[in-house]
Structure 1
Amino acid sequence: MSLLDISGLEAGYGDVKVLHGVDLHVEDGEWVVIVGPNGAGKSTLIKTVFGLADHTGGTITLRGESMTDLRSKEIIRRGIGYVPQNDNVFPPLTVAENLRMGAYILDEVPEDTLAEIYDLFPILDERRNQKAGSLSGGQRQMLAMGRALMLDPDILLLDEPSAGLAPDLVEETFQRIEYINDTGTAILMVEQNAKKALERGDRGYVLVQGRNRFTDDADELLGNEEVRQEFLGG
């Protein structure tokens, strides 16, 4: 049984249909990458899993239990974390307050988990009393990931984690994601830097116009001439 299983997924926004029967699965501890051209439905897929897009067909299950009609608050409780590409921190709150917000469904903030996140992202520890709105783009991305990790999710959904970051910060972000994955958290990632993501990931899906185009192990996709030319920049 897969950790996350998506079958025949159809979804979109109101009358606009974006996904047309997408299949995807993620195993325990796996790092899966979704790539494809703009408008392929990559972000919509992740948003649908997290209850933020309109699901119109197909199934979504987590460890065999249906997630299809659950709201985001219930999905978080099931063990799924989500880091959106934009508007992913609370600017008026401090770094520490943002992280504690990640545990809002719990009776008490897990201080040991908070300490682990500060260890993973030392810059957040240094700036714990700084307003999130004053952080750089890379620091905001770290804060958003840290907040999503406060509930120790089984799988973390990442939407374009390297978007807008300087090259050195892109590498640092991927290193942090690799560490998170190595600790046992499965990763389902949409990423514009497709080649770098596939070099780190286990498997990949290429979406085109809301449909599966290619599905394979990451190294096989990297070695596929058609995939390289059309989706990886040659």
Structure 2
Amino acid sequence: MSATTDAETEPDRTPGTSLLEVENLDAGYGDLQILTDVDMFVDSGEYVTIVGPNGAGKSTLMKSVFGLTSHMGGVVTFADEDITGLIPEEIIHKGIGYVPQNDNVFASLSVQENLEMGAYILDEVPQDALEAVFDRFPILRERKEQKAGTMSGGQQQMLAMGRALMLEPDLLLLDEPSAGLAPDLVDDMFDRIDAINDDGTAVLMVEQNAKEALRRCNRGYVLANGKNRYVDTGDALLNDPQVRQDFLGG
């Protein structure tokens, strides 16, 4: 099966029906443009992965959805509402959670304090959401009084995801969730992301471990030089000879 290029129309898609839609996006940092005419969508409950070489603009695309870059053109729509140009705090209110790759926990705060910070926009911490996070990540319940900065990399990643889940977002953005993890912890991290998605939360993920990410996701986007190169199901991208040769190491 040949992967779909950005110049082709995906046959089963009706524009305007997706949870998240990115259309003709130009974005970057200051005056430096990184993304050019990028298109992307995520349906409700879907699991979508963005892969590509270093410097392709993957994290920039993620940050652009969350209002962390300079918008230069195009439109970002979430739940039928134009969120182009909104600041992150406003975007959180719309139902999007974001877990950055680096500096994603408050090192001097306890685990529970970190989770409570995930609900800072509310008048009080939702105890049912807190319990749901503890049920999903039992190690966080065990370590709830521990300072986040003293936890392992894998535990900090779970804490960062747990904090983003405190507001029960409709869409969870994950930037390189397996980065820096020991090899034996990577599969466990992906299993936890699968479970979050299985429970109904849509996931948009940038991931360096492209083959494993594409095996697990519904659809994937391949970016190169800030532009769409391919989009198709994860399996189709994995099995496309050109994609494998150019982006997946054969």
Shorter chain as normaliser: what TM range? Answer: over 0.9
Aligned partners of 2:104, 2:231: CA distance in 1, in Å? 29
Aligned partners of 1:125, 1:169: CA distance in 2, in Å? 19
Q: Does residue 27 in structure 1 map to residue 43 in structure 2? A: yes
Tell me, what secondary structure is at the counterpart of 2:97?
strand
Deviations 1:200-230 (A, max 9, x none): 1000000000000001111110110011112
Aligned partners of 2:241, 2:65: CA distance in 1, in Å? 31
- Find the counterpart in structure 1 of residue 57 from structure 2: 41
Deviation at 1:116, TM superposition (A): 1.1
Give 1:177-216 correspondences, 5 Å limit: 177-216=193-232
Q: 2:180 aligns with which of 161, 164, 175?
A: 164
Q: Does residue 101 in structure 1 map to residue 120 in structure 2? A: no
Tell me, what secondary structure is at the counterpart of 1:151?
coil
- Find the counterpart in structure 2 of residue 111 from structure 1: 127
Q: 2:164 aligns with which of 148, 166, 169?
A: 148
Write the letter of the residue equivalent to 1:221.
Answer: L
The runs of 5 or more residues in structure 2 that have no matched partner are 1-16
Aligned partners of 2:246, 2:142: CA distance in 1, in Å? 43
Deviation at 1:119, TM superposition (A): 1.1
Q: Alignment RMSD, CA only?
A: 0.6
Number of equivalenced pairs = 234
Aligned partners of 1:105, 1:14: CA distance in 2, in Å? 28
Deviation at 1:92, TM superposition (A): 0.5
Deviation at 1:113, TM superposition (A): 1.1
Deviations 1:11-64 (A, max 9, x none): 000111100010000000000000000000000001011011111100000022
Aligned partners of 2:195, 2:220: CA distance in 1, in Å? 19
Deviation at 1:69, TM superposition (A): 1.4
Deviation at 1:197, TM superposition (A): 0.4
Deviation at 1:110, TM superposition (A): 1.0
Q: Does residue 63 in structure 1 map to residue 84 in structure 2? A: no
Aligned partners of 1:15, 1:75: CA distance in 2, in Å? 23
- Find the counterpart in structure 1 of residue 28 from structure 2: 12
TM-score, length basis structure 1: 0.99
- Find the counterpart in structure 1 of residue 150 from structure 2: 134
Tell me, what secondary structure is at the counterpart of 2:166?
helix
The runs of 5 or more residues in structure 1 that have no matched partner are none
Write the letter of the residue equivalent to 1:149.
Answer: L
User: Percent identity among equivalent residues?
Assistant: 66
Deviation at 1:114, TM superposition (A): 0.7
Deviation at 1:108, TM superposition (A): 1.5
Tell me, what secondary structure is at the counterpart of 2:107?
coil
Aligned partners of 2:245, 2:43: CA distance in 1, in Å? 28
Aligned partners of 1:40, 1:228: CA distance in 2, in Å? 16
Deviations 1:43-89 (A, max 9, x none): 00010110111111000000221010111000000000000000000
Write the letter of the residue equivalent to 1:17.
Answer: Q
Aligned partners of 2:248, 2:137: CA distance in 1, in Å? 30
Tell me, what secondary structure is at the counterpart of 2:157?
helix
Deviations 1:153-197 (A, max 9, x none): 000000000001011211111011000000100000000000000
Aligned partners of 2:142, 2:92: CA distance in 1, in Å? 28
